[in-house]
A = this chain, B = another copy of it.
Amino acid sequence: MDYYKSPTKDMMFLLDVFDYESRVSTLEAFADYDKDMVGAILDTASAVCIDKLLPLNSVGDAEGLKWDPETGDVTTPEGFKGAYATLVENGLLGVTCTPEYGGMGGPEVLGIYSSEIMIATNKSFSMCPGLSRGLIDALAAHGSDEQKEFYLPKLISGEWSGTMCLTEPQCGTDLGLIRTKAIPQDDGSYKLTGTKIWITFGEHDLAENIIHLVLARLPDAPEGIKGISAFIVPKKIDGELNNVKCTGLEHKMGIKASPTCVIDMEDSTGFLVGTPHKGMRSMFVMMNAARLHVGVEGIALGSIAYQTALAFAKDRRQMRAIDPAKQDQNAAADNILVHPDVRRMLLNVKATTEGLRALGAWISMEYDVAHHHPDADTRKAADDIVALLTPVIKSYGSEQGFLNISEAMQVCGGAGYTTDWNIEQYMRDERIALIYEGTNHIQALDLVGRKLRIDSGRLLRTFQGRISELIVESKDDERMAEFLTPLKTISKKLVGATMEMGGAAMEDPEVVGAVASPYLNLFAMCALTYVWAKQAHYVLNNDVPFGETKLKTARYFNTKILPQAETLIATIATGKSNIMDFDIEELEVI
């Protein structure tokens, strides 16, 4: 059974909280996108996804994929093709894509909202348009005009789909080890030969053609990451197969309706994208957008798991309320929502899921400003927030999303462990999010090793600036004190931990590796405290129907989730102590 209502009211509320009308819909690019327009598209997306994708979710998991070893063809579960066609018809695959090539040209915040709805209703399915969007972004940024005109219209409409071919058996995180070769041809094209693995929707039957963005080496390439070039390698050229064959599917814990392919190329024709040896640029365009959406996966599946657990809890009676006043004398047992621990579990999920949704809304609106604001300084500041918080939402969002689904399962007891309630599928589907698009530790190194170091901490200063703005803006409002005090405290602690980590790393760079992961989670605590204070501030100054609930949830976050910071701070303070002392033999089982 699936229990899902699209959280559109929360999404619309967050537009207000982060000043959508004054900051985003005033941008020339989004002149058509006032709040009503966003709301209308979300309503369509919700209706279509709930109607067409949700019923296929557990079906797809059970049926899985068929692969023909002879032809390499992959058949998606029954119904997927029809659902894909419906989404193409409704233009729902190109909501954020440029209208120049047929997209709807909507803001990124609309993109992550509709992404959340699509993932919640069918994560496996959502991977296909998700990958296409990555390729569209990469081509829009680095493709030639000719390439854009040829590929973008069909990718944006969904007639064709896209992939990103990075990983090879010997390299996942470490793309400098790529071996796939690209040999220049007289006509300006290239012949590519090599094997790529983990290729999501690398082969399938939903779209007419599949366009692979492939990382490979030119014959004269320098070693390592600086010798990687990017190529377009279509499955078919002018209707003819291009020797790009799926030679196997991975058997995975989850996302079983999303084909994870081994892709073999042998003298397959490809076309260079951008500059030789600078292929990582195109890839980073894909990966940064993708990382934000991976964070959204935790929100989406956390949300549907929450709704399922709540539906179970509302119906289930077990044991008596501790408080006699809450006991139902007309029944042999009380509804389990009388038990503090059941509420604790549900509220853990609610407070972090809504907090993460607010964080995603904020980042995506900054993304829109960063890409479309006329003023360079404004763009830069907005981009600082996006760059700083993208690894945070990817890593914390996926980790907490996974834990939230587990918490939702716990609410349902044994029923939650069966396939009847689908939570177990959400958990299996979510677990990969901690790994792909850069493992969570890679996100932490990106945050600590790259983002914090830009201009000696400029991004962190921009982030703190936003916090200060809110504090200054509401300093005379006594009602805000309960939300500002924890925000000030966690913000100070974060800066303290940053300094401490920086100092220790100067003496020993291994400290960064040892503490980056807990540090990222501490950063998430600060960011979520901020977005909860922002929501509280909006509620206290505006008429919001569910305003009281938002205030209660903000308080719950500050009381019951924010204390996670204490352990993180204590752990960061111990640096790399006792981590590197073991010889490898000492790690063996005793």
Residues of A at under 8 Å CB distance from B?
5, 7, 9-10, 13, 167, 170-174, 176-177, 198, 223, 250-254, 303, 306-307, 310, 314, 317-319, 322-323, 332-333, 337, 339-341, 343-344, 346-347, 350, 354, 402, 406, 409-410, 413-414, 416-420, 424, 427-428, 431-432, 434-436, 439-441, 444, 509-514, 516-517, 546, 548-549, 552, 555-556, 559-560, 563-567, 569-571, 574, 576-582, 584, 586-590
CB-defined contacts of A444 to chain B, threshold 8 Å: 341
CB-defined contacts of A509 to chain B, threshold 8 Å: 322-323
Instruction: Please state if A250 and B418 are interface contacts (CB–CB under 8 Å).
Output: yes
Instruction: Please state if B577 and A559 are interface contacts (CB–CB under 8 Å).
Output: yes
A411 vs B77: C-alpha distance when bound (angstroms): 31
A580 vs B586: C-alpha distance when bound (angstroms): 48
Instruction: Please state if B198 and A414 are interface contacts (CB–CB under 8 Å).
Output: yes
Closest residue of chain B to A581 (Cβ to Cβ) is: B552
CB-defined contacts of A174 to chain B, threshold 8 Å: 317-319, 333
State the oligomeric state as a number of copies: 2
A177 vs B427: C-alpha distance when bound (angstroms): 31
Instruction: Please state if B589 and A253 are interface contacts (CB–CB under 8 Å).
Output: no
A416 vs B428: C-alpha distance when bound (angstroms): 12
A441 vs B342: C-alpha distance when bound (angstroms): 9
A548 vs B582: C-alpha distance when bound (angstroms): 9
- 30 intermolecular pairs with C-beta atoms under 8 Å apart: A7-B589, A10-B590, A171-B333, A172-B413, A173-B413, A174-B319, A177-B318, A223-B332, A250-B418, A252-B418, A253-B424, A254-B417, A340-B514, A343-B582, A347-B578, A347-B579, A347-B582, A350-B587, A402-B406, A406-B431, A410-B435, A546-B586, A548-B586, A549-B582, A555-B577, A555-B581, A559-B574, A560-B574, A563-B567, A564-B567
Instruction: Please state if A251 and B418 are interface contacts (CB–CB under 8 Å).
Output: yes
| Secondary structure call for the A interface | helix
Q: With A341-B441, A435-B416 known to touch, is A318 a contact of B589 (CB < 8 Å)?
A: no
Q: With A435-B417, A436-B414, A440-B410 known to touch, is A428 a contact of B578 (CB < 8 Å)?
A: no
CB-defined contacts of A577 to chain B, threshold 8 Å: 555, 559-560
A249 vs B128: C-alpha distance when bound (angstroms): 35
A340's contact among B350, B570, B576, by CB below 8 Å, is which?
B576
Instruction: Please state if A414 and B172 are interface contacts (CB–CB under 8 Å).
Output: yes
Q: With A340-B510, A566-B567 known to touch, is A435 a contact of B414 (CB < 8 Å)?
A: yes
Instruction: Please state if B584 and A517 are interface contacts (CB–CB under 8 Å).
Output: no
Closest residue of chain B to A402 (Cβ to Cβ) is: B406
User: Among the interface residues A339, A428, A578, A581, which one has the most CB atoms of the partner chain B within 10 A?
Assistant: A578
Instruction: Please state if B310 and A252 are interface contacts (CB–CB under 8 Å).
Output: no
CB-defined contacts of A350 to chain B, threshold 8 Å: 587
A10 vs B586: C-alpha distance when bound (angstroms): 13
Instruction: Please state if B578 and A552 are interface contacts (CB–CB under 8 Å).
Output: yes
Closest residue of chain B to A412 (Cβ to Cβ) is: B435
A559 vs B559: C-alpha distance when bound (angstroms): 26
Instruction: Please state if B439 and A417 are interface contacts (CB–CB under 8 Å).
Output: no
CB-defined contacts of A435 to chain B, threshold 8 Å: 409-410, 413-414, 416-417
